[in-house]
Amino acid sequence: MVASLTRDPADEPDLAARLMKNAFSHLENELLEQKPLCILLAPEWRRSRDKPIGNDALVSIAGVVRSLGEISPPQKNWDTILSNMLQIPILQPDNAPVYRSAVLPLPKALGLIGNCDSSVTDQVRSWFTALIEDQDILDSIAIDSVTLADSASRIGAQLRSRWFRGIRRETVFLDINVLRFPDADHPFFELYKLKVDAWMQRWPFFSLRRSMNGLTGVFQAYKFQPQKSIINELSPQTLDKAIQEAEALLDSKGQLLLAFG
């Protein structure tokens, strides 16, 4: 399932969180058809909505929106988005990028669908939390470990078949890219990717090795600060225009009115 981001979220600025909650509340039928949850790029607003945003952040918001808007939808993948962000002159990377990957082997039988053993859901919860290591992001995407384990059991059931004995099969469970915009208390951008695959390793029936299934996760995150030295060199006219563009993307409460196509 590829989530559409062409709608206007004027009344729902926390688009990423809403997409996650809606997607996972309706994920059952999608997984039964082996359709992954994919979000090419979701904008996410931050927490401080009652404080004015500084001009440097406003200028950088205008520049980022304009630059990403030039990427055609078919090319809007993680590599293209990241490359674009790294080349925006008024941004500078802040700190080293984060890259974590982890594999979680799971019992061959996860339990009845919709009724996974609590020890399995605890495993999934701990694994998922350690993979991301960011409570704000965990709260934002709101993926329940029971749902994750239950969905993995469904995918595992689909992958189990005599026809596929002796091979390894993988399927994308979720693949989301999110751009978190700055606010007064967090004057920087965060771009992150979360990808989880469900897999099964089957050995031939005569092998002594046990068949396995599980999850593989990858989390990547980049932080970008406004490049003040470059912004300070812009003409007053350019600054005013950029600030006006950014303010036009905010509602009366300073919340983002933006969706990427």
Domain boundaries, the chain: 15-248
Q: Are 153 and 116 in contact (CB under 8 A)?
A: yes
- Residue of 196, 220, 219 whose CA lies nearest to 145: 196
Q: What is the mean pLDDT of residues 36-55?
A: 75
Of residues 203 and 4, more confidently modeled:
203
Q: Give, to the nearest 10 degrees, the angle between helix 118-132 and helix 145-159.
A: 110
Instruction: Tell me the pLDDT band of 256, cut-offs 50, 70 and 90.
Output: low
- Residue of 67, 97, 66, 63 whose CA lies nearest to 84: 67
Instruction: Tell me the pLDDT band of 43, cut-offs 50, 70 and 90.
Output: confident
Query: Looking at the whole model, is its pTM more than 0.75?
Result: yes
**Confidence at residue 95, expressed as pLDDT on a 0 to 100 scale:** 82
255 vs 261: CA distance, rounded Å:
19
**Confidence at residue 118, expressed as pLDDT on a 0 to 100 scale:** 72
Residue 227, classed as helix, strand or coil, is coil
Does pLDDT of 185 surpass 70?
yes
Name every residue whose Cβ is closer than 8 Å to that of residue 88 and which is 6 or more positions away in sequence: 63, 64, 67, 224
**Where in the chain does DSSP place strands (E)?**
37-44, 91-93, 98-106, 111-112, 115-116, 168-180, 189-201, 212-226
Does pLDDT of 5 surpass 70?
no
Q: What is the mean pLDDT of residues 202-231?
A: 83
**Confidence at residue 208, expressed as pLDDT on a 0 to 100 scale:** 64
Instruction: Tell me the pLDDT band of 19, cut-offs 50, 70 and 90.
Output: very low
Does pLDDT of 152 surpass 90?
no
- Residue of 148, 160, 226 whose CA lies nearest to 194: 148
Least confident piece of the model among 1-10, 106-115, 129-138, 162-171: 1-10
Of residues 202 and 229, more confidently modeled:
229
Name every residue whose Cβ is closer than 8 Å to that of residue 83 and which is 6 or more positions away in sequence: none
Does pLDDT of 239 surpass 90?
yes
**Phi and psi at residue 156, to the nearest 5°:** -60, -40
154 vs 163: CA distance, rounded Å:
18
**Confidence at residue 251, expressed as pLDDT on a 0 to 100 scale:** 66
**Confidence at residue 38, expressed as pLDDT on a 0 to 100 scale:** 74
Does pLDDT of 222 surpass 90?
yes
